[in-house]
Chain A
Amino acid sequence: MTQMTTASSSRTYLVIWCWLAGLMLLSVVLSALPIAKATVVLLVLLLSTVKALLVALYYMHLKIDRRLLAFVAVFPLVLISLATLLVLSSYLVRL
């Protein structure tokens, strides 16, 4: 890898760090605002998902790595989502 590419990577890492810190602060501010709880939950969890994606794509290099690794990362999430939906469905039926 050339020096220039490494320098460019370091710059990207710093930019992502700024985004992560900024989104974290936005989550804290949103949670303190007098808006509907359901909206806050949705927005804050959405921001958390964006932060997790930034870490996975740029810091864990899933953006440039082989697709197989992305599959390995996503597959358990699909399984656990199905299991959670199953549990939640029993809760929703009781409503």
Chain B
Amino acid sequence: MSQAATASEGHPSLYSATGVASNKLGMWVFLASEVMFFTGLLAAYIVLRMGHPAWPGSEGHLSVPMGTLNTFVLICSSMTIVMALAALHDGKIGVVRRWLLATVGLGSLFLVIKGIEYSAKFSHHIFPSSSIFWSCYFTLTGFHALHVLGGIIFNLWVWQLTFKTAVWERRSHFLELAGLYWHFVDIVWIFLFPLLYLL
């Protein structure tokens, strides 16, 4: 059986008629709706941008080093949460906790860096209402940051579950669901970073 499938091992009642664990299928359907949400925003951004040859203009400067650092932080966090899943299959609960905390820490670092970027913009009197570019920037990164925050809370919830032995035996598959959500947040940033900072 595949590694992904084994995350729900021991929970046969969770499997749907499709052969996929119901909770996992539910998470993927949820992520599909999230894909449509973010792609809609990105498509609007691309269409607006194509209509403005000088986009974003001289006032639309973003720090590439800060954006690159944040991208690296999220890439690292995707690795740490998948390592937590590997440790779960190894039965090393202590290692699972450490990788999960690392993921939470990296997610928090991402938000701190994003907060520094936001405060720099605000101190230069740049707000969402300043121009269409900044309106797009704050909307896209703001919604993404909210998803990162949601992921951090989800990961912390899974982390505290690991201390409740009886509950964890029945609920360890939540780690895989938290991982799927976290990777999705990473993928969204993989597209946001070049579109906003590089191109």
Interface locus among B78-86, B134-142, B157-165: B78-86
Residues from chain B with a CB closer than 8 A to the CB of A51 are 190
CB B134 to nearest CB in A, in angstroms, measures 20
Set of chain B residues within 8 Å of A1, measured between Cβ atoms: 3, 6, 89
Q: Is the interface of B mostly helix, strand, loop or mixed?
A: helix
**Contact between B72 and A76, CB atoms less than 8 A apart:** no
- Would you call B43 an interface residue if the criterion is a C-beta within 8 Å of the partner chain's C-beta atoms? yes
Interface membership of B198, Cβ < 8 A? yes
Asked whether B47 lies within 8 Å of A80 as measured between CB atoms, the reply is no
Q: Which residues of B does A touch, CB under 8 Å?
A: 2-6, 18-20, 24-25, 28-29, 31-33, 35-36, 39-40, 43, 46-47, 50-51, 64, 68, 71-72, 75-76, 78-79, 82-83, 86, 89-90, 179-180, 183-184, 186-187, 190-191, 193-194, 198-199
Taking a contact as CB atoms under 8 Å apart, the answer to whether A91 and B47 are in contact is yes
- Residues A20 and B194 in contact in the complex (CB < 8 Å), given A73-B35, A76-B36: no
Query: What number of A residues sit within 8 Å (CB to CB) of B?
Result: 47
A87 sits at the interface (CB 8 A) = yes
A-B pairs with the 8 shortest C-beta distances? A61-B4, A31-B198, A64-B2, A17-B79, A80-B39, A84-B43, A76-B35, A72-B28
- Chain A residue with Cβ nearest B81: A59
